[in-house]
Amino acid sequence: MKKILIYTLLILAGLPASCVVARPAEGNDFNARRQQILDYYADSIKISFNPEAPDYSRPNFDIIVAKLTAGKDVQTAIRAMDTLMAKPVGNMFYIYELMGTYLFGRKSLPPDFGDKVRDNLETSTIYRGDTENHWLQYYTGWYLAAQEWNVPRWSNGKSSEETLKEAQDYIDHWISLTTSLGQGEFNSPTYFITYVDPLVLLYQFAKDPLMRKKAEMMLEYMFADYGIENLNGCYCGAHSRDYPYIAVNPQMAQSRIFGFLYFGNTEFNPRIREAISVIFPALSSFRLPAIIRDIATDRSQPYASRQRKRVRFVIRYGPERTPPVYKYSYMTKYYCLGSMQGGILQPIQEHVWDITFATRRPYNTVFAINPYRSPKELGLFFPEEALPVYGFVAHSHGYYGNVDKWSSSSPHERTFQYCNTLIDLYDLDLNPTELWHEIDAFFPLTLNQFIVSKSGWIFGRMDSAYFAYYPLQKYCLEKDTDSIQLLGGDEGSFGIETLDKRPVDLRLRSFSTANGCVLQAGSVTEYGSFENFMRLVKKTKVVFDSKKISVKYGTINGDQLYFRYLNDRELNGKKIVLNYPLFDSKYLHSAVNSRVLKITYGNTVRTLDFNNFTVTQQTVK
Amino acid sequence: MFKRLLMLVLLSAAVSFAGQRRVYVVVHLYQKMVVGGHNPPAGIFYTTDGGANWEHLGWSNIIAYSLTIDPDSNGRIMYLAAGNGVLKSTDAGETWRIMTDWHETEVSQVVIDPGNHNILYIATPYGVFKSTDAGWTWSKKNNGISPKQTGTTSSTFIGPILIDEANPNRLMIGTENGIYVSTNGAGSWKPFALKGRGVRDLVCSKSDPRIMIAGTENAGIFVSHDGGKTWSQSGNGIDSLAIYTVSFDPKDERILYAGGYDTGFMKSTDGGKTWKSFDSGLSEETIHGIAVDPDNPQDIYVATIPGGVFKSADGGKTWKYLFLDGAQVYSVMIH
């Protein structure tokens, strides 16, 4: 297994269908990008009432609003809206999308259409959902409805006055919690859009100027958060929630479409699943301050970022309701290495660490996981009975019960990262209710070079970025067999035509109980050629104690790291205490409970103060 | 001393306003539910003909847990414990209002104070909430069970709530960290029994309230004969240790019923010393709710996950599928 293998890996003969991109807008002009989006959705998709038609062309609010606002196929769009309202889905997605579509599109709607929408919400009951993004959508929808019409009794049984007050109260609570202790569904390449869209609606349509201000500031907050961890639009590092097909291919993340619109650092790719969710932001008059675009795109100098977020509410089996999540990322022009401390911080879809490469190639990432499932994991977060809830989860997230999945939380993993070095340790001492006893690492076939060295290191290069992965235990490498179900995708899903059914990676499997890896990242800027990088890494020394489950490692940069599983993290002999602020980097600063975010770029400092909802920006001499 | 769980009181209460007993079931969700998609109706279903025909009542797009009917309302005042909070109807389920706001969520049970029907308690994964005005306002009642006080969030994951009918200010709650007791109307809680156990159901005998049964998450069934002070594990005949529902036979309290994860229908005829599992005709063996017809205890209904509703006409020996295959039916009650 440890013989030298040199794969001259794949410059794919042609990118797969899912990576074909539309013509990029020229330059970084926001309006051009915005118009490109609006034109594409107004012109390129025809609404079909055929139930056999693909998802994206059947009546849905996003395509309806694109047509209404562009004044194209208006009668068809109105008919499509009537169709949706005739059989309302009745949940948080429905109410905010209905209100957003009505409010953006009302100039093209008949004068009495507002009465129809109001009547619809007086009778259609709305399920609130059970996650933070669900609740923000639910309360945004009700907020907009309740301020629009003074109704004595909505379908929730409450008046407009009561409903507006409750909605505002929750939105205020969410803002306060997020800016005090960090976001719960943090840094999610998938769920990012589910926060941006309702906030954009509040910014655009709240009649209360203060609510508009709050929404604007939260949008800036979220884009600053995304900005410092994105590389050409790809959301890098650790994520609270990620579908497996995005974990293995960051190029296909929904957040990337927002990178296109607001940062201009990537191309418009309408084949990204649910890319059309960008329609409300594209219609909105919200504009991102230049300073946030600057921090999102300036990769001229590497930087480290420390962050604190929140664990999803732990409803049982844990000592705290919402313990802290500690994140660390190291961003360079050619790659980003990012991680969080490990453990069960979110159910099902956690993504603990990765290296993401700056490239146009698909599958531009390397990471490892312990594929894990247990009733306890589900019981920590879901109010249903812990044992039978598995059947439901296994249906809604088909990959959950599969050992080959690529998204997973695990209580048996902990990490320690410093700059471009990561130590990832596992203690796979499972109890009988837990599965599985292995760790898996993902190495994409799209790497330019992949070398298994006699030194014990596995090396790889993607364009100008390098990595060296040192498995701590015996392993095997196998060509993977990915399936759509395993990746959490769906052929019929909105905007996406196919996911790759062919193998896209080499999978490392390792079955030892005390386990893990050392990951050393680098690039041409830091270490010159790939050969030189390999030479330097081979000089480093990994000392693994399988009894203590600890690693001593002198990094390629000469730093001494020591990490013992569930115990000490030491850098050059000094203990590292995980007690990070909400943000701590050269670009972002925010202390816990301060409710103030300071954004710095060059001499410019922009301060978002959520205590009094003021924004100040000044140039420091 | 403790009377029975209010839900069971309701089961044996007078006939409904329609002059006929109704069997209500509450669908939590469907196994194949698509979040955000069109799904079959969940929430409340009822039958008035022993299960041959069913009607849906109220909200259909909801995640719900259990139904409580005010015993003095002639079946008109209903509370639905749901993900959206507490829904209340004052017209027998025709119209509903969400009585709670965002502070109260994932409500699994509503319990009415037998002495004052304006006083309500609700069980949530975030603790106990109380209303003294029939649900219009709520306050959190976690003094003594908050994670900061107990060191675990399990103490606020509330399952059953029991009210002492003789002294309604005395309550017991089953939590994921054992049983807690309050003697001041939930003003404060103290640890009482089964510390560290996930208590998923808790009932006491109507004729002798000192006899109590607890179903637990991972340790099976416990029986107490001294009002909960001491407990013994009732292990004989129990295979699965995850017990979600326990109850007494309404006419012979030596007969006990229980169900849980993959248990089938469990019955004891000796006060919980030994148990026997029945599954003939029961294609789904995970049981979350049991209701025994107070007029004819041979008629028993079970709510299963995710196999729908089954009925036995011979005291649980054999079963017949009725309705809602694929549904996680969380509770069943007869009113």
Side chain identity at B197, as an amino acid letter? Answer: R
Express each pLDDT in B152-168 by its tens digit.
999 999 999 999 999 99
| Contact indicator for B264, B281 with CB cutoff of 8 Å | no
Residue A27 confidence (pLDDT): 43
A→B contacts (Cβ < 8 Å), by residue, are 87, 89-91, 93, 125-130, 135, 139, 156-158, 166, 169-170, 173, 313-321, 383-388, 391-392, 395-396
Contacting residues of A for B176, CB less than 8 Å apart: 316-317
To test the contact with chain A by mutation, choose from B35, B177, B217 the residue with the greatest count of A C-beta atoms within 10 A, namely: B35
Contacting residues of A for B126, CB less than 8 Å apart: 313, 315
Half-sphere exposure of A56 (CA within 13 A, CB side): 21
Share in percent of chain A as helix, strand, coil (round to 5) = 35, 25, 45
Among B61, B147, B261, beta carbon nearest to A388: B261
Comparing CA positions, the residue from B149, B151, B147 lying closest to residue B126 is B147
How far apart are the C-alpha atoms of B113 and B72, rounded to whole Å?
12
Share in percent of chain B as helix, strand, coil (round to 5) = 5, 40, 55
Q: What does the pLDDT profile of chain B (335 residues) look like in tens digits?
A: 444 444 433 433 434 444 568 999 999 999 888 887 889 999 999 999 999 999 999 999 999 999 999 999 999 999 999 999 999 999 999 999 999 999 999 999 999 999 999 999 999 999 999 999 999 999 999 999 999 999 999 999 999 999 999 999 999 999 999 999 999 999 999 999 999 999 999 999 988 999 999 999 999 999 999 999 999 998 788 888 999 999 999 999 999 999 999 999 999 999 999 999 999 999 999 999 999 999 999 999 999 999 999 999 999 999 999 999 999 999 999 99
Beta bridge partner(s), residue B121:
B111, B130
Burial class for B233, CB neighbours closer than 10 Å (0-12, 13-18, 19+): middle
Residue B18 CA to its chain's centroid (Å): 24
Low-confidence ranges of chain A (pLDDT < 50): 1-27, 491-497
Strand, coil or helix: B208: coil
Residue B3 confidence (pLDDT): 43
Comparing CA positions, the residue from A209, A290, A562, A312 lying closest to residue A418 is A562
Residue A25 confidence (pLDDT): 40
Tokens (6 digits) for A579: 């007690």
- Greatest distance between any 2 Cα atoms in chain A: 76
Q: Taking CB atoms and an 8 Å limit, are B147 and A156 in contact across chains?
A: no
Q: Taking CB atoms and an 8 Å limit, are B108 and A321 in contact across chains?
A: no
How far apart are the C-alpha atoms of B44 and B67, rounded to whole Å?
8
Which runs of consecutive H residues, i.e. helices, occur in A428-505?
Answer: 484-487
Q: Which one of 3.20.20.70, 3.90.550.10, 2.130.10.10, 2.60.40.10 gives the CATH number of domain B6-334?
A: 2.130.10.10
| Contact indicator for A414, A565 with CB cutoff of 8 Å | yes
Tokens (6 digits) for B110: 């509503």
For the residues of A421-434, what is the DSSP string, one character each? EEEEEEE----TT-
- The whole-angstrom distance between A175's CA and the closest CA on chain B is 14
Q: Taking CB atoms and an 8 Å limit, are A388 and B306 in contact across chains?
A: yes
Comparing CA positions, the residue from B75, B97, B96 lying closest to residue B17 is B75
Contacting residues of B for A158, CB less than 8 Å apart: 97-98
Among B31, B153, B306, beta carbon nearest to A315: B153
How far apart are the C-alpha atoms of A399 and A484, rounded to whole Å?
9
Residue A485 confidence (pLDDT): 58
Per-domain residue ranges for chain B?
6-334
Among B37, B87, B244, beta carbon nearest to A89: B37
How far apart are the C-alpha atoms of A369 and A251, rounded to whole Å?
20
To test the contact with chain A by mutation, choose from B29, B101, B199 the residue with the greatest count of A C-beta atoms within 10 A, namely: B101
How far apart are the C-alpha atoms of B335 and A45, rounded to whole Å?
54
Residue A198 confidence (pLDDT): 98
Main-chain phi, psi angles of B111, to 5 degrees: -125, 135
| Contact indicator for B9, B3 with CB cutoff of 8 Å | yes
Residue A604 CA to its chain's centroid (Å): 28
Strand, coil or helix: A204: helix
How far apart are the C-alpha atoms of A107 and A111, rounded to whole Å?
8
How far apart are the C-alpha atoms of B273 and B211, rounded to whole Å?
13
Beta bridge partner(s), residue B233:
B222
Residue of A nearest to B103 (CA): A170
Among B32, B102, B217, beta carbon nearest to A135: B102
Beta strands in B154-264 (DSSP E): 158-163, 171-175, 178-182, 190-193, 199-204, 212-216, 221-224, 232-234, 243-248, 256-260
DSSP A396: H
Main-chain phi, psi angles of A329, to 5 degrees: -140, 150
How far apart are the C-alpha atoms of A395 and B8, rounded to whole Å?
34
Residue B230 confidence (pLDDT): 96
For the residues of A513-534, what is the DSSP string, one character each? SEEEEEEEEEEHHHHSSHHHHH
To test the contact with chain B by mutation, choose from A128, A131, A163, A274 the residue with the greatest count of B C-beta atoms within 10 A, namely: A128
Beta strands in A190-298 (DSSP E): 230-231, 234-235
- The whole-angstrom distance between B112's CA and the closest CA on chain A is 21
Give me the interface pTM, i.e. the ipTM.
0.93
Comparing CA positions, the residue from B203, B211, B264, B269 lying closest to residue B238 is B264
Among A135, A139, A316, beta carbon nearest to B157: A316
- Greatest distance between any 2 Cα atoms in chain B: 50
Q: Taking CB atoms and an 8 Å limit, are B153 and A320 in contact across chains?
A: yes
Tokens (6 digits) for A90: 């009745």
To test the contact with chain B by mutation, choose from A387, A431, A433 the residue with the greatest count of B C-beta atoms within 10 A, namely: A387
How far apart are the C-alpha atoms of A278 and A261, rounded to whole Å?
8
Tokens (6 digits) for A405: 């999945």
- The whole-angstrom distance between A536's CA and the closest CA on chain B is 48
Neighbours of A559 (CB within 10 A): 13
